[in-house]
């Protein structure tokens, strides 16, 4: 097999150690050596650049590109799959080589990427958003029409559940459909006009059933959780990650620390809702008002979680905002008190750990898959990072 050596670059290995001059050698899709003075059959000159592990985004929606109600009802059903192909390619070009789709992508999209039919980050998929009747994932409108963000279809079964027995059925149905992770709403949300982000959804009994069903199949649960009580219910049930975490209180933070629960902040999400509204997306007034209310509260909650030592992994909720702007999240994370190194750790090795892939991805280390991003200039210059991505390698093959 051909040995490729990346020479002359500054390596950020994903552990948080200071970037240092080093060579990286890859062979047969894996990293085989990191050090100085290495050689190979061919060389990639990385002088003046930084080398990063392939980045992660732990919260995306690749089948969603528009939030406006009118746009959704006028777009043909199958158009979403072509949008997904475009959105995946756009994301890969940023150096994001692994994503967790938090509802929308089905097994066919994941397999199309894995088989090389379309280029994109490797996918972990939730398929559907588990919601109670009237909850964050219920697309019912006062007119009586129901317009969810993601319409059910054979590969994406309906995920509405009320009571422990229905929760068990929905969990098993999504697992059968190929879910790598189960996503549940334990609170209301910003984009659902008729609920409140601070209010809880699902009882602890219902959540216990969900976590048990997932665990029996070796899967974890992620929770859309914004209000403090719903966050605490999720943590007490053993849910692995809190998505958003807008109204964290001290007790919630203490519980997360005690249980080792992850936070995926998605700080850019409410910012993007407000941008969409300003651009004429036609969002309900209640949605815009909620986004305005939570933006500052959200950032303060994340600051407190960071200061307390809660485990953080990078995620953006892209789809709520434009795909291709994912790396804006990094500067927002830094503004919440994370050091530049910690931000990159949250986007590489910590994200890999959240997804259970820490032995395979997230670091530039021998034995890991050869996902590398070559960045011109300073890897800590987050506002310029997207524009500075020069090359993206995935499993030892140059993708960008």
52 and 372 Cβ atoms separated by less than 8 Å: yes
The pTM assigned to this predicted structure is 0.95
Same domain, 140 and 282: yes
Which domain does 233 fall in, by range?
A: 55-354
With contact defined as beta carbons under 8 Å apart, do 127 and 102 qualify? no
106 neighbors 178 (Cβ within 8 angstroms): yes
Q: Please tell me the predicted confidence (pLDDT) of residue 47.
A: 96
The distance of Cα 269 from the centroid of its chain, to the nearest Å, equals 11
Tokens of 293: 């209310």
Residue that is written with structure tokens 């066919």 in the block = 108
On whether both 37 and 150 belong to a single domain, the answer is no
Cα(293)–Cα(369) distance, rounded to whole angstroms? 42
Instruction: Count the Cβ atoms, other than its own, within 10 Å of residue 65.
Output: 19
Same domain, 45 and 69: no
Considering Cα of 27, then 33, then 34, then 38, what sign does the dihedral take?
negative
Which helix (H) or strand (E) segment is 225 a member of?
strand 220-225
The CATH number assigned to the domain holding 262 equals 3.20.20.140
- Judged by phi (left if over 0) then psi (alpha if -120 to 50, else beta), residue 383 lies in alpha
d(CA 160, CA 357): 30
- Dihedral sign for Cα atoms in the order 308, 310, 312, 316: negative
41 and 60 share a domain? no
Residues 81, 25 within the same domain: no
Query: Are residues 49 and 59 located together in one domain of the fold?
Result: no
Write down the pLDDT at residue 363: 98
The tens place of each residue's pLDDT in the chain, 400 residues long, gives 799 999 999 999 999 999 999 999 999 999 999 999 999 999 999 999 999 999 999 999 999 998 777 788 899 999 999 999 999 999 999 999 999 999 999 999 999 999 999 999 999 999 999 999 999 998 888 888 888 888 999 999 999 999 999 999 999 999 999 999 999 999 998 888 778 889 999 999 999 999 999 999 999 999 999 999 999 999 999 999 999 999 999 999 999 999 999 999 999 998 888 888 888 877 788 888 888 888 889 999 999 999 999 999 999 999 998 999 999 999 999 999 999 999 999 999 999 999 999 999 999 999 999 999 999 989 999 999 999 999 999 999 999 9
Residue-wise over 328-354: b if at least 16 C-beta within 10 A, else e? bbbbbbbebebebbbbbbbbbbbbbbb
User: What was the pLDDT predicted at 238?
Assistant: 98
CB atoms under 10 Å from CB of 215, counted, come to: 12
Q: Tell me how many domains the chain contains.
A: 2
Read off the CATH number of the domain in which 390 is found. 2.30.40.10
Same domain for 67 and 147, yes or no, is yes
> Does residue 123 sit in the same domain as residue 31?
no
| Cα gap 269→46, rounded to integer Å | 34
User: Which one-letter DSSP state was computed for residue 368?
Assistant: S
Whether 166 and 213 map to the same domain: the answer is yes
- What region does 218 belong to: left with phi over 0, alpha with psi -120 to 50, or beta? left
The residues assigned a catalytic role are: 183, 317
Tally Cβ neighbours within 10 Å of residue 229.
17
pLDDT given for residue 147 in this prediction: 84
Examine the domain organization and report whether 308 and 172 are in the same domain: yes
Q: Do 253 and 347 lie in a common domain?
A: yes
Q: Which of 129, 284, 266, 119 is nearest to 193 (CA)?
A: 284
Query: CA–CA distance from 298 to each of 201, 266, 291, 308, 369 (Å)?
Result: 19, 9, 10, 16, 35
Structure tokens of 373? Answer: 């991003």
- DSSP bridge partners of 56: 98
* Cβ contact 314:264 at 8 Å: yes
On whether both 275 and 158 belong to a single domain, the answer is yes
Beta-strand pair 372-376/49-53 = antiparallel
């Amino acid at each position: 097999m051909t040995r490729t050596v990346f020479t002359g670059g500054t390596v950020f290995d994903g552990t948080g150690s200071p970037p240092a001059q080093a060579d990286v050698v890859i062979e047969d899709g894996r990293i085989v050596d990191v050090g100085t003075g290495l050689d190979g059959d061919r060389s990639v000159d990385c002088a003046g650049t930084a080398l990063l592990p392939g980045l992660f985004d732990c919260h995306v929606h690749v089948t969603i590109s528009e939030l406006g109600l009118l746009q959704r009802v006028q777009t043909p059903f199958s158009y979403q799959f072509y949008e997904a192909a475009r959105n995946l390619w756009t994301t890969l070009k940023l150096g994001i080589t692994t994503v967790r789709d938090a509802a929308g992508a089905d097994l066919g999209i994941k397999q199309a990427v894995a088989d090389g039919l379309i280029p994109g980050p490797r996918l972990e998929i939730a398929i559907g958003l588990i919601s109670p009747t009237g909850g964050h994932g219920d697309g019912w409108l006062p007119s009586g029409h129901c317009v969810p963000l993601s319409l059910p279809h054979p590969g994406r079964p309906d995920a509405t559940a009320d009571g422990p027995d229905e929760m068990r059925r929905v969990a098993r149905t999504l697992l059968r459909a190929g879910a790598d992770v189960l996503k549940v709403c334990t609170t209301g949300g910003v984009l659902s006009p008729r609920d409140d982000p601070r209010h809880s959804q699902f009882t602890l009994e219902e959540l216990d059933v969900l976590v048990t069903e997932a665990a029996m199949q070796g899967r974890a649960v992620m929770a859309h959780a914004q209000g403090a009580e719903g966050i605490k219910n999720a943590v007490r049930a053993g849910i692995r990650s809190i998505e958003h975490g807008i109204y964290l209180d001290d007790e919630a933070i203490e519980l997360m620390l005690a249980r080792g629960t992850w936070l995926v902040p998605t700080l850019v999400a409410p910012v993007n809702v407000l941008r969409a509204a300003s651009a004429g997306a036609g969002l309900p007034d209640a949605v815009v008002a909620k986004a305005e209310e939570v933006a500052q509260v959200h950032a303060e909650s994340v600051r407190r979680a960071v200061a307390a030592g809660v485990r953080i992994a990078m995620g953006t909720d892209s789809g709520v905002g434009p795909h291709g702007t994912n790396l804006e999240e990094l500067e927002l994370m830094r503004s919440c008190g994370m050091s530049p190194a910690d931000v990159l750790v949250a986007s590489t090795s910590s994200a890999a750990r959240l997804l259970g892939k820490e032995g395979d991805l997230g670091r530039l280390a021998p034995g890991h898959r050869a996902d590398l991003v070559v960045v011109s200039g300073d890897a800590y210059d987050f506002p310029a990072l997207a524009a500075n991505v020069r090359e993206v390698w995935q499993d030892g093959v140059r993708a960008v």
